[in-house]
Structure 1
Amino acid sequence: MARALVTGGAGFIGSHLTDHLISLGHDVIVLDNLLLGKREFVNEKATFHEGDIRDLPLLKELCKGVDVVFHLAADPRLPISIEDPSETHDVNVTGTLNVFIAAKDAGVKKVVFTSTCAVYGDQELPIREDMVPVPKSPYGLHKLMGEQYAQLFHELYGLSTVSLRYFNVYGPRKTAEGGYPMVIPIFLAQRQRNEAMTIVGDGEQTRDYVHVSDVVRANILAWESDVVDGQPCNIGSGEQVSVNAISQFISGESVHIPERQGEMRFIESDSTRAKDLLSWEPTMPFLEGLASLKQEWLGE
């Protein structure tokens, strides 16, 4: 049995990861400020601390005796990072630096850092890790800086780290509030309220959706892997799905709203590195996962 600290463990992905770690018999500590997370998402067998990753003394205390840190805590709201880059920098960069400092000082064996495809900006498809990142938002830049800290802390201090660049994660507990992007729960919530689904721009923009269960498995495999130098791995399905296709599958009326700043237009991952280094591949077909959510939200 290992002891794990999950920052952001009351959030969408973090709570699923916590559940899985507990099911494997591990001791889990959850740190979350509940800005975007929900207390009811936290497994009752986890030790919960309401707090902030900007609180370095708290992090140092929580890291004592911990074997692995899964660092998911962040402010992932891309539009908010454009409106207030200073505040989100404080959370996403300074907070992440605090996590690495606390882990190093406590002798943590490995840190699994949650990054994002937003580091890339617009690229030729499919997107590979050897492409030069050109973030289009402060959020993407913040995460890229976190990856660089992961690599630097390995080089300077010998801390084992790995970074996972999530593409568009979907699944149960993903709400229509808070995090970003969130077109699927927004559409489902609008359908629940008998409202028209709001399609940004022409709706032809695509995303690469990966189910939360596959992302949880990627975290476990990253922890168990031989990757220690902070190098990033794409975690995506390798398939493009347009906003229009999602609205058509959910079915119902729709309206178009203006495009937003900072968004990538087309996204498709190449996750070969994750397959080679982590022995990870996605297993949940997108339409199967979406159909399950539609049944859960709408009963149809």
Structure 2
Amino acid sequence: LAGKADIVPSIEHPDIYYATNVQGTFNVLECGRAANIKRLIYAASSSCYGIPDVYPTPESAEIRPQYPYALTKYLGEEMVLHWAQVYGLPALSLRLFNVYGPRSRTTGAYGAVFGVFLAQKLAGKPYTVVGDGTQSRDFTYVSDVADAFACAAASDISGEIFNVGSGHHYSINELVGHLGGAVEYIPKRPGEPDCTFADIQRIRTQLGWQARVDFATGVARMLEAIELWREAPLWDAGSIHEATRSWFKYLGDH
């Protein structure tokens, strides 16, 4: 959970992302091995699937990272599984899908749609919706994700990968409908899937976990905590265009 996130900074500074997400994970694994730790749960990213062919997407789906953040998180996961295999380190990996909830980060690079939209709502500005808004995401509430980590920590399973998702997916237009307000549509970005949707059969069967917070409830909780985004960056179409130049430059058609 201490890794580097965000897409654009990973494109612009892959060295920093490698040092943190790959070398940093190696350091944690070696320290854990030396300390004979009882358990290690790795926070992996569903971005490793890239643009999948199968929905809901199982853990066995082809790995297709589209940018350095996704790649470095996947490399970290591979090391965790390798240390479990070779050194017997009791570890497993959770591939997280579109986590949201109060007290998420409100500063930094242009990123998660919830934070962008909440700051825009506070300012009375239109929501900047990428593409036509029909793209959908497996929004998974933070308390459910915390429960998944607790279940993983309490199990004796090692060397396995589990998707952590809500079991549903919702369009960005549906999210806007819950939030209420005007919309401004901006160009679709390359390298982003039209849908993220986790197959959670494995974690439900082996760890007994499944999400409990439905989307409408989760959005309502975000709105109750909207003041947390009062000082968050306010993005508009122009600033998003500038912030994503590297995205279009390197991930667009070559």
For 1:270, the equivalent position in structure 2 comes to 199
State whether structure 2 residue 254 is matched by structure 1 residue 297.
no
Aligned mate of 1:198, from 114, 124, 128: 128
Looking at structure 1, the residues matched to 108 and 86 of structure 2 have their Cα atoms a distance apart, in angstroms, of 35
Aligned mate of 1:237, from 166, 179, 185: 166
TM-score, normalised to structure 2, is 0.85
Query: Contact 2:131/2:186 (CA < 8 Å) preserved in 1?
Result: yes
State whether structure 2 residue 82 is matched by structure 1 residue 82.
no
Which letter does structure 1 place at the counterpart of 2:120?
Answer: Q
Taking a change above 3 Å as real, the CA distance of residues 239 and 233 of structure 1, as seen in their structure-2 partners, is same
Aligned mate of 2:39, from 110, 123, 129: 110
Cα RMSD of the aligned pairs, angstroms, is 1.5
How far did 1:274 drift? 0.7
For 1:167, the equivalent position in structure 2 comes to 97
The secondary structure found in structure 2 opposite 1:115 is strand
**Structure with greater strand percent:** 1
Identity of aligned residues (%): 35
Query: Contact 1:175/1:182 (CA < 8 Å) preserved in 2?
Result: no
Larger RCO of the pair (alpha carbons < 8 Å, separation 6+): 2
Aligned mate of 1:185, from 115, 124, 127: 115
How far did 1:181 drift? 4.7
Which letter does structure 1 place at the counterpart of 2:56?
Answer: P
Which letter does structure 2 place at the counterpart of 1:205?
Answer: Q
The secondary structure found in structure 1 opposite 2:83 is helix
For 1:122, the equivalent position in structure 2 comes to 51
Consecutive aligned runs of 4 or more in structure 1 exceeding 3 Å deviation: 178-181
Taking a change above 3 Å as real, the CA distance of residues 280 and 243 of structure 1, as seen in their structure-2 partners, is same
For 1:135, the equivalent position in structure 2 comes to 65
Deviations 1:162-207 (A, max 9, x none): 1000001111112443378511121111110111111112211111
* Runs of 5+ consecutive residues of structure 1 not aligned to the other structure: 1-71
Taking a change above 3 Å as real, the CA distance of residues 218 and 96 of structure 1, as seen in their structure-2 partners, is same
Query: Contact 1:76/1:179 (CA < 8 Å) preserved in 2?
Result: no
Looking at structure 2, the residues matched to 237 and 180 of structure 1 have their Cα atoms a distance apart, in angstroms, of 24
Looking at structure 1, the residues matched to 85 and 110 of structure 2 have their Cα atoms a distance apart, in angstroms, of 32
Moved more, 286-295 or 158-167: 286-295
For 1:156, the equivalent position in structure 2 comes to 86
Matches within 5 A, 1:212-227: 212-227=142-157
Deviations 1:39-95 (A, max 9, x none): xxxxxxxxxxxxxxxxxxxxxxxxxxxxxxxxx111111221122212211111111
Query: Contact 1:239/1:268 (CA < 8 Å) preserved in 2?
Result: yes
* Runs of 5+ consecutive residues of structure 2 not aligned to the other structure: 228-254
Matches within 5 A, 1:64-103: 72-103=1-32
TM-score, normalised to structure 1, is 0.72
Query: Contact 2:96/2:163 (CA < 8 Å) preserved in 1?
Result: yes
Query: Contact 1:197/1:255 (CA < 8 Å) preserved in 2?
Result: yes
Looking at structure 1, the residues matched to 67 and 161 of structure 2 have their Cα atoms a distance apart, in angstroms, of 19
Deviations 1:87-114 (A, max 9, x none): 2111111111111111011111111000
Query: Contact 1:104/1:159 (CA < 8 Å) preserved in 2?
Result: yes
